[in-house]
Chain A
Amino acid sequence: MTAPATIADRIDIAGLELEVLRRGAGRPILLLHGFQNPDPGARFLELLARRARIIAPSHPGFGRSPRPDGFETVYDLVRLYLALLESLPDEKVTLMGFSFGGWLAAEIAVACAHRLDRLILVDALGVKFGDRESADILDVFNTHPKEVQRRFWHDVPRFAPDYDALSDEALVSLARNWEALCLYGWHPYMYNPQLKRWLGRIAVPSLVLWGASDGIVSPDYGRAYAALIPGARFALIDAAGHAPEIEQPEMFVDHVLGFLET
């Protein structure tokens, strides 16, 4: 592993010192990560940073962000990021959430429309559409890791992590992220049964992006999600799975900039 292009910064919020990645200049985008904390070397960050100012914290328990005792629910995370929004000097911020972080972004957008100018959800979790015997979201903890990788990526050989090649530090981080994700998302599995009812309250222009090959949570789920957010646009990104920002960074950033600049 090469050294990260930018050493991660810290941000103090609600008594917590979070690891945060800051990039670029211009309109602020608060980026809430999914299963993994942001990779400083990710190409989409570099592209996006040419046009926007990115603030990308690692959730408590992920990456190098500490998780204090008793901080263990999505409720805590939502309150934390509401506090972070309040603390930013910008009157309005664009909120972008990926996967698990998309769930957080949807909760925050319902609760705090006045600090947001736009909402972007990318392969977001957080709601339940299917009947009681149909799980919308793949159970990543009770499924064979190879199957999880196969359903996560469009191009598995190219993008699935090779644990033998990763540094000790990267593996420790993966294990921390896995543990934290399990803590926050175990029950009910990756959704809030009440959230669907409130998505209609989201009052900012919204874009819902989805990897066309996402096998963790399907594009149809994404369409249904978008349909509950007034005026939301939905767009598929071809040749991408659950993380289109990683597999198709150029196309992903084109979609985002197209949305932000209209």
Chain B
Amino acid sequence: MDAWWQCEIPYPYVPQPVLDAADSVRASLPNRHCDPRLAADLFEEVIDEFLLCDDLGLNVLAIEHHAGINSLIGSNPMLVGILARQTRKVRILSLGTLISLRKDPVRVAEEYATADVISRGRLEIGFVKSGGTEMASANANPIHNVERYWEAIDLITKALSHHDGPFSWQGKHFTHRHVNIWPRPWQQPHPRMWSATGDPETAAEVGRRGMVHVLVLRGPDGTRRAYAAHRKARAEAGLPKVTTDNFAYAALVYVGDTEEEGRRVGSKLLWFLNTSLKSAPQYSKFLPGAAPPRAAPQIYRTRPKADGGTLSLANAEKGVPSASQNAQRLISITPEEAMAQGILFAGNPDSVYRQIMEFYDKVGGFGHLSLVGRSGPMTHVESEKGIRLFAKEVLPRLREVKPVIAE
């Protein structure tokens, strides 16, 4: 198993009364609440944490989110560019530029090819569907988000792998008459690609495409179901079975010297869920297209219908909660619940290793663990300590978990 450390670079300094008074801590919270000097300190510390990962042989992962306290990484390619140059050994996963928000996927392909070349072939390219507040922040129509997602991936893939002069793209959502990027990527035909999704329909397409399939904070049931949809879609398409190397899971992870320290400091990571997910209804339950209209009776009502609504969300979504419902569930989660649900792995090294492998067994195995680190009030010193302990005490044991055919 491989491991990837990430930090969303959240901004934990907005006073709680301001957050309590705001209907959303993303998209609409005025940026006067963001002090650029504090932001600079955060970037400096977190980039140092990424470089510590490089020293310790722990791969790094860069995300992107827009306009909120949950993350200051509004520009993924900029951080990926820094990591491409400043790290020297480890692999770098971009997870990723929010492509369904970007008007020109060809420009995204240029950014990725450049980072792959600067890093001499250490880049991996991940795609995230995006949603919620990101649509407002990026002025992107929430309808057809998934269509744009796949078309952008197709265009980026072709732009990275086509080497015979300009080609033309006249798709439904993107047109570009003259695609010919320089430099071309270091890795041929292109860097490995990842996709983050929990819903069964997208999971099936991720499977058919053979991308690395990453589930973020979904817990055992949602994760197992998504992996299963991936494998089933491959089987139905007559494609060969994949190994656990095709599956990834992202959780909050913290390792301390003692069980008590690991749990106490690790619990600080829940700030990301408890505080930074707060989102106004126009960006969540009422976001057009976020859930099928047949799910509206469950989503729009503030209480269950007394005379018994008949349309069931379970039918609508095959038992998988929507991303916004998942977020609602996570906002109020406690450390104990988070640990019980495989959303937080925290404790001493032995304990964290055991928690990871218990989750591994519950979901049918995965080849990549993404560590969501450094959040809320966790300090730079605490973060670096956790990274060191994970890299020295847990990672070597995870490396012994070899890829196997995922059944």
A contact residues vs B (CB 8 Å cutoff): 70, 72, 141-145, 148, 163-164, 166, 168, 171-176, 178-179, 181-183, 186-187
Instruction: Indicate if the CB atoms of B288 and A182 lie closer than 8 Å.
Output: yes
Can you spell out 16 A-B residue pairs with CB atoms less than 8 angstroms apart? A141-B287, A141-B288, A144-B282, A145-B282, A145-B286, A148-B282, A164-B302, A166-B300, A171-B296, A172-B293, A173-B293, A178-B288, A179-B143, A182-B142, A183-B144, A183-B289
Chain A residues with CB under 8 A of B358: none
A141 CA to B27 CA, complexed, in Å: 13
Beta-carbon contact of B288 and A181 below 8 Å: yes
Contact with A along B2-23 (1 / 0, CB 8 A): 0000000000000000000001
Residue with the greatest number of chain B CB neighbours at <10 A, chosen from A141, A143, A176: A141
1/0 per position for B225-267, CB-CB distance to A under 8 A? 0000000000000000000000000000000000000000000
CA–CA, A144 and B24, complex, Å: 10
Of A72, A145, A172, A175, the most chain B CB neighbours within 10 A belong to A175
Given contacts A142-B136, A182-B141, A186-B141, contact A175 B282 (CB under 8 A): no
Please give the residue numbers on chain B whose beta carbons come within 8 Å of chain A beta carbons, in ascending order: 23, 27, 136, 139, 141-144, 172, 280-283, 286-289, 293-297, 299-303, 305, 309-311
Please, which residue of chain A has its CB at the minimum distance from the CB of B294?
A: A172
On whether A141 and B293 interact (CB within 8 A), knowing A183-B141, A183-B143, the answer reads no
How close is A16's CB to chain B, nearest CB, in angstroms? 19
Contact call B143/A174, Cβ cutoff below 8 A: no
Say yes or no: B311 contacts A168, CB within 8 Å: yes
A174-B300 CB under 8 A given contacts A164-B305, A182-B142: yes
- Among A144, A166, A168, max chain B CB count under 10 A is at A168
A193 to B311, CA, bound (A): 41
Give Cα A186–Cα B142 distance, bound, in whole angstroms: 9
How many A-B pairs have beta carbons closer than 8 Å: the answer is 72
Beyond A172-B294, A175-B300, A179-B293, 9 extra complex contacts between A and B, CB < 8 Å:
A141-B288, A143-B282, A145-B286, A163-B300, A163-B302, A168-B305, A171-B297, A172-B311, A183-B141
**Contacting pair B280 A168 (CB below 8 A):** no
For A179, give its contact among B172, B280, B288, B297 (CB under 8 Å): B288
Compute how far the CA of A111 lies from the CA of B251 in the bound complex, rounded to whole angstroms. 57
Whether A175 and B281, one on each chain, are in contact in the complex, defined by CB atoms closer than 8 angstroms, is: no
Chain A interface, DSSP helix/strand/loop, else mixed: helix
Contact A164 B23 (CB under 8 A): no
Whole-angstrom distance between the alpha carbons of A207 and B142 in the complex? 35
Q: How far is the CB of B309 from chain A (nearest CB, A)?
A: 5
Cα-based distance from A144 to B281 in the complex (angstroms):
7
Q: Give the docked Cα–Cα distance between A171 and B281 (Å).
A: 16
Residues of A within 8 A of B294 (CB): 172
Known: A163-B300, A182-B141, A183-B144. A175 touches B293 (CB 8 A): yes
Contact of A144 among B23, B288, B299, B309 (CB under 8 A): B23
Report how far A187 CA is from B138 CA in the complex, Å. 12
Q: Quick check: A144 and B301 within 8 Å, CB to CB?
A: no
Residues on A with beta carbons closer than 8 Å to the beta carbon of B144: 72, 183
Task: From known contacts A164-B305, A172-B297, A182-B289, infer whether A187 and B142 are also in contact, taking CB-CB under 8 Å.
Answer: no
- A169-B64 Cα distance, complex, nearest whole Å: 38
Contacts of B23 in A (CB 8 A): 144
Q: Which 10 A-B pairs have the closest CB atoms?
A: A175-B296, A182-B288, A175-B293, A186-B141, A163-B300, A168-B297, A183-B143, A171-B296, A176-B293, A179-B288
| Given known A144-B280, A164-B305, contact A174–B141 (CB-CB < 8 A) | no
Complex formed: what's the CA distance from A142 to B286 in Å?
Answer: 10
Give chain A nearest CB distance to B120 CB in angstroms. 40
Least CB distance from A60 to B in Å reads 13
A166 partner residues in chain B, CB cutoff 8 A: 300
Cβ distance A21 to chain B, nearest Cβ, rounded Å:
20
Please tell me which one of the listed residues B27, B139, B143, B296 contacts residue A172 in the complex, with CB atoms under 8 A apart: B296
Q: Chain A contacts of B282 at CB under 8 A?
A: 141-145, 148
Q: Bound state CA distance, A72 and B143, in angstroms?
A: 10
Contact in complex: B143, A182 (CB < 8 Å): yes
Which residues of chain B have C-beta atoms less than 8 A from A164's C-beta? 301-303, 305
A163 close to B301 (CB less than 8 A): yes
Q: How far is the CA of A192 from the CA of B259 in the complex (A)?
A: 62
Which of chain B's residues has its CB closest to A179's CB?
B288
Docked-complex contact A171 and B288, CB < 8 angstroms: no
* A56–B287 CA distance with the chains assembled, in angstroms: 27
CB contacts (< 8 Å) of B286 on chain A: these are 145, 178
Report chain A residues within 8 Å CB of B293: 172-173, 175-176, 179
